[in-house]
Amino acid sequence: MKLKSTKYVWMDGKFISWKKATVHLITHTLHYGAGVFEGIRFYKTPKGTVIFRLTDHIKRLFYSAGAIGVKVPFSEKEVHDAVIRLVKKNEIKSGYIRPLIWYGEGHMGINPIGAPVNIAIACWPWGLYLKAESIRVKTSSFMRIHPKSTVHDAKISGHYANSIQAVLEVKKAGYDEALFLDYKGHVAEGPGENIFMVKNHVLITPAKGSILPGFTRDSIMKLAKDMGYQVMEKSFKLKDLYAADEVFLTGTAAEVVPVREVDKKKIGNGKVGPITQVLYKAFMEVVNGNHSKYKKWLTYVN
């Protein structure tokens, strides 16, 4: 997806121009994938720009860094504040923020011990990630990364080679998005989203264990519970998903995306389901600052 650049990037403690934010060919992470990142959205609200769940994202960034042995050369507070300063400095009101930590230049061989560690944050305006009112999803022949192969709930750059393979596979077959099963054959998640199904008014989302448990997933679960819906985190199979009344994906980039078809099977009546609609609306109200109950999730930039 082509993006619109902004003026500044924060790199290793300094603001530099977007054009100068480059890395050397001999950058360890470029070769081996041991980097970690976050995707964070910010929104224009009547009371100013807000960053959604910033503290949680920064915590996960540091957790992910720990999973690949990185000691971040800045504190969580310094990175948190750098994000706010960057958004302000770039003078954009809504979009996406990408912090990235990587093993840097001048160190080759798989063992990263001793390699320099770099950190940068970029942000840019970003509209809808999956550009449709509802989408068609196909189960990938690739399995979600086995939880014993990696720290599966860390957001490690290398994990996304698995996601990219699945996306390429299903795009070739004409679908909008991929779906992963886990090593037990249970429905896991999308390449960059969690999944929910609604059956008899109950929301069901795969239990933790093989997924990246997203903050959008967490927000939707809390919102749904507060609205009186029953929410269950439990494993289920594809046949259960095919028989669902409603299905939707959640993620920072994707937000809340209704799914109308999985593997050529129509979900419900093929239209956006009523509970999906209610939750989508509630989520957008929250991120737009219209729900005082959830203001703890919002960081105001100004």
Ligand X SMILES: Cc1ncc(COP(=O)(O)O)c(C=O)c1O
Q: Which residues are catalytic, by number?
A: 155
User: Do the Cβ atoms of 19 and 78 come closer than 8 Å?
Assistant: no
Q: Which is nearer to ligand X, 87 or 212 (CB)?
A: 212
**DSSP character at residue 25:** S
Is residue 39 part of the contact set for ligand X (CB under 6 A)?
A: yes
| Residue nearest to ligand X according to CB distances in the complex | 214
Is residue 193 part of the contact set for ligand X (CB under 6 A)?
A: yes
Is residue 273 part of the contact set for ligand X (CB under 6 A)?
A: no
Residue 263 backbone phi and psi in degrees, to 5: 50, 45
**DSSP character at residue 156:** B
Q: Which is nearer to ligand X, 193 or 261 (CB)?
A: 193
Is residue 152 part of the contact set for ligand X (CB under 6 A)?
A: no
Stretch that binds ligand X, among 3-11, 208-216, 272-280, 286-294 (CB under 6 A): 208-216
Tokens of 2: 């082509």
Is residue 138 part of the contact set for ligand X (CB under 6 A)?
A: no
d(CA 134, CA 176): 9
d(CA 27, CA 107): 7
CA–CA distance from 183 to each of 41, 141, 211 (Å)?
31, 12, 11
Is residue 252 part of the contact set for ligand X (CB under 6 A)?
A: yes
Is residue 189 part of the contact set for ligand X (CB under 6 A)?
A: yes
Contact map string, positions 215 to 244, toward ligand X, x by CB under 6 A: xxx---------------------------
Kindly tell me which residue out of 192, 206, 268, 289 binds ligand X, with binding defined by CB under 6 A.
Answer: 192
Q: Closest Cα partner for 34 from 146, 143, 144, 151?
A: 151
Is residue 157 part of the contact set for ligand X (CB under 6 A)?
A: no
Q: Closest Cα partner for 111 from 74, 146, 71, 69?
A: 69
Is residue 194 part of the contact set for ligand X (CB under 6 A)?
A: yes
Is residue 268 part of the contact set for ligand X (CB under 6 A)?
A: no
Residue 30 CB neighbour total at 10 angstroms: 16
Q: CB 30 → ligand X: shortest distance, Å?
A: 20
Binding site for ligand X (CB under 6 A): 39, 189, 192-194, 212, 214-217, 250-252
